Chains A and B, each alone.
Chain A
Amino acid sequence: MSKILVFTEFQNGKIKRSSQELLQFAATTGNTVAALVLGSTDGAQAAHHGATEVLFSADAGFNSYNPELFTVATAEAIQKSGATVVLASSSSTGKDLFPRVAAKIKAGVVSDGIEIKITGDDVKVKKPFYSGKCFATATFENTNVKIVLMRPNQLPVAAADVSKSATVTELTFTKPSLKTIIKDIVKGTSEKLDLTEANIIVSGGRGLKEAGNFKMLNDLADVLGATVGATRAVVDAGWVGHSMQVGQTGKTVAPSLYIAVGVSGAIQHLAGMSGSKVIVAINSDPNAPIFQKATYGIVGDAFEIVPALTAEFKKVLAH
C-alpha cells in the first residue's frame, strides 16, 4: 500500500469542494490518505472525507499564499509523509505551487487532469491539450513522487462522514529567509465561485451588443447560482475584465451547464468550454459554430429569450 498526500484547500473555514473530491477519490484507491493543511484552520475536517492522517501547520505565514514559504513546507511534507502520489486542485494556488515543488524535489507534475486512474503506485492522468482541442494521457517515469493537479468538478463528492477521525500531526519545517513579501490582498468583489470551479456558467459574447447588457446575464446567473463568463472579443473590447474570459487565452472551464448567449463560437472559445457537460447556445444566427457544440439550441433574440429564461427558472426553482 502506498500513501497519497492531498493538498487540502479551505475557503471560509470549510474544505473546498475541489479538495473534497480529491480526498474522497484517494480513499477509493485502497491507499493510505494523508491531508496536508497549511494555515490556521480546522484541518481535522479532512478525516470526514477519507483522510486517516492530517499533516498541518498553523504558521501565520500560511494565511496568505507565499510561493517560497509554501514550496519549502510542501516539499518537506511530501518527504516526511513518505507519500509517493500527491494530489492537488488545479487552482490558482495549486498551479503556481506544485511546479516549483516538483523542481525542488525532482518529481514529475501534470496539471489540469480531467480523469485519473491510480492502481497501487501506478498513475495515469488524462488532460486536455490546446485547451481541449485534443486530449492525451500522461504517465510518469524516473520519479519517486508523482504529482497530479486535477481540475475541479471532475470527480464525485459524497456527504461528509463526521464519525471518522484521523491522526493529526504538526508539520515542522525549516523556514527560509523570504525574498517574496505579500504586501496586500484585494479580494474580488464577486461572491461567486471562480469560473474554473463553477458548476454553472452563463457566458456572453459580442451578440450582447454592449457592456451594459451583461446585467441581463448577471440576473440569470443570480437565479442559477452561476458564474458569468465572456468571450475574448468582449474582453478585448473592454466590456468585462480578463478574469472572466473563457477560451484558449483565458480560462478553460468544464461546468455541468454552460449557457452561451450571443456567442458565435470562435475555435479558441470552443476549445475553452467544450468539456462542459451540457451546453446551451442562444444566438440569432442559426449558422453560428456554437450550435455544433451545443446540446440545446435556441435560435432567436437574446434580449427576449434571456429575460424569459430568468423568469422561468425563478418560477421553477422556487418550488
Chain B
Amino acid sequence: MKEGFRQAMAWLHTWAGLIFGWLLFAIFLTGTLSYFKNEISQWTQPELVPHQVTEVDSVNRAQRWLQENAGDAKRWFITLPDERSPALGLSWAKARGGFERKSLDALSGTPVQARESMGGEFFYRFHFQLQMPYPWGRWLASLSAMVMFVALVSGIITHKKIFKEFFTFRPRKGQRTWLDGHNAVAVLVLPFHLMITYSSLVIFMTMIMPVSILTTYGGNTQAFFDDLFPAFKTAPASTETAPLAPIAPMFEVAAEKWPGSRIGLITVNNPGKANASVTLTPSGADHIPNISGTTLMFDGVSGALKDESTMSAASLMLAGGLYGLHMGHFAGPLLRWLYFLAGIGGTAMIGTGLVIWLGKRKLKHAKAGVLPFELRLVEMLNVASMSGLMLAVVSFFWANRLLPVSFAGRSDWEVRTFFCMWGLALLHAFVRVFFREGRSAWREQLTLAASLYCALPVLDLLTAGDYLFASLKQGQMTLAALDVTALITGIFLAWGAMRFGEGGKVAFVSKLTPTDSRRKSDSGVSANSGSEPARESVRADATAQEAN
C-alpha cells in the first residue's frame, strides 16, 4: 500500500508536470525576469536618466502637471521615483471613464521623451496574464500554479530521500545526471518553490476562490474591499469646486507616523472638488508584507489629517506577507539577485523535468531508432517552449534597439517580435523534430540564441552606447549589468548548444542502455560522486521514480 501510494504520487507528478510543464516554464522564466522589471525597463528606455530629487520636489511637480493636464479626473495616482525607477509615475481615472498613464521626468516635471516600450512590464504582465484577455489569462495562470503546487508536493512524496540525494550528483551520466540535477535544484530552492507557488494562488484568491466573499457579503463584493482598504472607497464627486491643498506638507505628517518608511503611492480622490481627499500609502520597498490597507487620509481642501487605518490583523498579515514575498519589492540588490537565481532554479527544475520525461521514454525506442508521434510532439514542444522562449526573449531586446526610436507603435512591434520569434521557433522545432531529429532542433536554436545573447552587449554599444557610458559615468550599473547578464546567458546557451553537437551523445542516453558502456570508455569519466550506500539508496529510489 505504501509503495502504491508513492507510485500514485510519481504518476501524478509525471503527468501533471508534463502537461503544464511547458506553460509553467514560460511563467517561471518571465516571472524570474520580472524581479528586474524596473531595471529591464531602464534598459529598454535608456533615455530615462535617474536624478537626485527630493520627495517634496517630485510630488510638487506631479501635482502641478496633473492640475494642468488632468484637472477633471476622478482620481489621480502618483508614484515617486526611487532607486529602481527614475521617473515619476502618474496615472488617472478620466471623468468619462477610462484610464491614462504618463511618466514625468523627475527633474523637469515634463513628460519623459523616451522611446515607447513596455520593457519589464511586458514580461511581468505576460507571466500572469499570458497575453490573454481578462480574466482568462489570470485563471489559466492560477490553474497552472495549482498544478505546480500538486506537482511539487507529489514530487516531494515520490522522492522521500530528498536530502540524502541532494548530495548525490553524478555528472556526465545522461539520464541519471538530468534526474540528479532536477532533484538537486528542486531541493536547493524548495522553500522558494513552495512560497512562490502558494503565494501566487493567494495573490489571485479573490479571483479564483471568491465564494466566501459572496456568502459573507452577499452580492455587495465592493463592501469587502472597502472593509479591507477603507481609504480607497470611492465617493461621488461633489459639484462644488475647491482648490486642492498642496500634497507635500502631508509628507511631514507621514514621516512622523511612519518613521523610516517612504511614501509608495499617493492617491487623490476627486481632485479640485470640495470633497477631495488625499491618501498616502507606505512604500512596498520598506516592508516585506504588502500593507496597502495601511494609509493616512487627508482632507483634500484643508490638508488636515482626517483618518488613518492600519493593516495589522494576523490574517491580513499572512496574506499580505505571502503577497509581499512573491513580489519581492522589499528586496535590496543582493536579495534581488538571490530571488533571480532562485527563479532560474525553478525554471531549470521544470526544464529538466520535461527533458527527463522524454529521455526516459526515448530509451524504449532507442533500438528501433524511430520515435512515435507523441514523443516527437513532446520533443517539439520541449524545444519550442525552452530554447524557443529564450530566443523570443532576446529578440524583444533586439527589437528594442533596432526599431527606430520614433517609429509609431514600436512598443507593439516589440511585443509582436517576441511572439513572431516564438512562433518561428515552434515551426523550426516542428520541421526539425518531425523531418530530421530533435538534437538538431536544440542545437540550431541554442546556437542562434547564444549568438544573439552574446551579441546583445555589442548591439547595445553600437545603438545606445552613449547612454551606456553616460550611465556608467554617473555610477549607474543597471544598463551594464543587463548587458553582462545577457553575455553570461549567451555563454551558458553556447555551452548547451555544444552539448547537443554532432559528436557527443550525452543528453538522452542512459547509463542503463547498451550504448552507454561505449560512451563511458570514450569519456573516461567514472562515477565518483556520492558514497556507495547513498548511491544504492538513490538507485532504489530512482527505480521508484521511474515506475510510471
The answer to whether A binds B is: no
Binding site for A on B (CB under 8 A): none
